[in-house]
Amino acid sequence: MKCTEFLKELTDYLDGTLSESTRAELDDHLHWCHECHVVMNTTKKTIEIYRDNQIYELPEPLRIRLHQAILSKCRGGKPGKEKA
Amino acid sequence: MQTIQKRAGEDFDELALVQSAKKGDLEAFSELVNRYDRNIFRIAQHITHNEEDAQDVVQDAFLKAYQNLAQFQGNSKFYTWLVRIAVNEALMKLRKRRNEKTVSLDEDVETEEGSIPREVADWAPNPEQNFGQAELSDILKKTIQGLPPGFRTVFVLRDVEGLSTEETAEMLDLSVPAVKSRLLRARLQLRERLAKYFRSKKNGGGQREVH
């Protein structure tokens, strides 16, 4: 297997959605190709860092304000679609 | 790696809430807002890069959903339907902000940038721990903002929100192979850009030749 072929399968490899035989081929490639091993590991880390550090949380006071605004617009029946 | 499912809802009673809201039960709709407002805000922020726009998207998306509930047939999940509305609203905001006629999910997806890894130096162990929370947050924001909208939207739905490839495809009106290809390139581009912060200092940098 070449590195480019490995890369094509990287997303499915990381998501655990490959067939056993393809996975074994990729594991074999990782065994001897240090560069692909680094790419695989650091890509996995990239996903984990974004997943574990939510960068855009909705602050609670703002959340309450938005919620009230949504409901009061809904309460107005079927207003025009443009914001007031 | 197993995708961690973090999404809210999917409960058996969700359909009942939607049915009640359709009849004008605002309390039921309020519960739906509670379930998904954080997710919609995050998705909107990632697409628009602008907090004010993201707040508008949250309001407009829920209002539009409420106004159009009669058209929701229940063929997909309510959340899937809601995200479709929110993504469209967010793209409209982005378009307005850029004063451009078209900002679409197809923008810049033909770029080859980042599809072949060049940076192959290993990272420090737990590199994120070398930064304070605020600094790390800045790095992550700056890095993901550099991706074309079509890439970062796919990445956010799949890897940040933990949705499946099929759900993401349905939300964005893309085919499953298109989602997979964008996700791969988004992941590789982010990795490449993060490397300059997270690279292990002792090994130095590394460029590679692809076999």
State the CATH number of the domain containing residue B194: 1.10.10.10
pLDDT of residue B163: 93
- Decide if A81 and B64 are in contact by the 8 Å CB cutoff: yes
Residue B5 lies in a domain: no
Residue B7 lies in a domain: no
Copy the structure tokens of residue B27.
């309390």
Contacts of A78 in chain B (CB under 8 A): 67
The residue whose two tokens read 């190709």 is A33
Fold annotation for A3-75: Arc Repressor Mutant, subunit A (1.10.10)
Q: Are residues B122 and B176 in the same domain?
A: yes
pLDDT tens for chain A, residues 1 to 84: 889 899 999 999 999 999 999 999 999 999 999 999 999 999 999 999 999 998 898 999 999 999 999 999 998 865 333 343
Other beta carbons within 10 angstroms of residue B8's beta carbon come to: 14
Q: Are residues B66 and B130 in the same domain?
A: no
Residue B201 lies in a domain: yes
Is the ipTM of this structure higher than 0.90?
no
pLDDT of residue B135: 94
User: Is the pLDDT confidence value at B7 over 50?
Assistant: no
Q: Are residues B33 and B66 in the same domain?
A: yes
Cα B123–Cα B128–Cα B133 angle in degrees, nearest 5: 160
> In chain B, how long is the greatest CA-to-CA distance?
64
Task: For chain B, state the CA radius of gyration.
Answer: 19
Q: Are residues B117 and B195 in the same domain?
A: yes
Question: Can you tell me the distance from the alpha carbon of B42 to that of A54, in angstroms, rounded to the nearest whole number?
Answer: 8
Question: Can you tell me the distance from the alpha carbon of B139 to that of A16, in angstroms, rounded to the nearest whole number?
Answer: 28
Cα atoms found within 13 Å of the Cα of residue A72, Cβ hemisphere only = 8
Q: Which of B98, B131, B153 is the last residue of a domain?
A: B98
pLDDT of residue B112: 55
Instruction: Note the pLDDT tens digit of each residue in B107-144.
Output: 555 555 556 788 788 898 889 989 999 999 999 999 99
CA B109 to chain centre: 16
How many domains does chain B fold into?
A: 2
What are the residues of chain A with a beta carbon less than 8 Å away from any beta carbon of chain B? Answer: 2-4, 7-8, 10-12, 14-16, 33, 35, 38-39, 41-51, 53-58, 62-63, 66-67, 69-71, 73-75, 78, 81, 83
The residue whose two tokens read 């707040």 is B55
- Show me where the domains of chain A are located: 3-75
State the CATH number of the domain containing residue B31: 1.10.1740.10
Which residues 35-64 of B have a C-beta within 8 angstroms of A? Answer: 37-38, 41-42, 45-46, 54-56, 58-60, 62-64
Q: Are residues B183 and B119 in the same domain?
A: yes
Q: Are residues B121 and B190 in the same domain?
A: yes
Q: Are residues B118 and B177 in the same domain?
A: yes
Q: Could you tell me the residue range of the domain that residue B150 belongs to?
A: 107-211
Q: pTM of this prediction?
A: 0.85
Q: Are residues B26 and B90 in the same domain?
A: yes
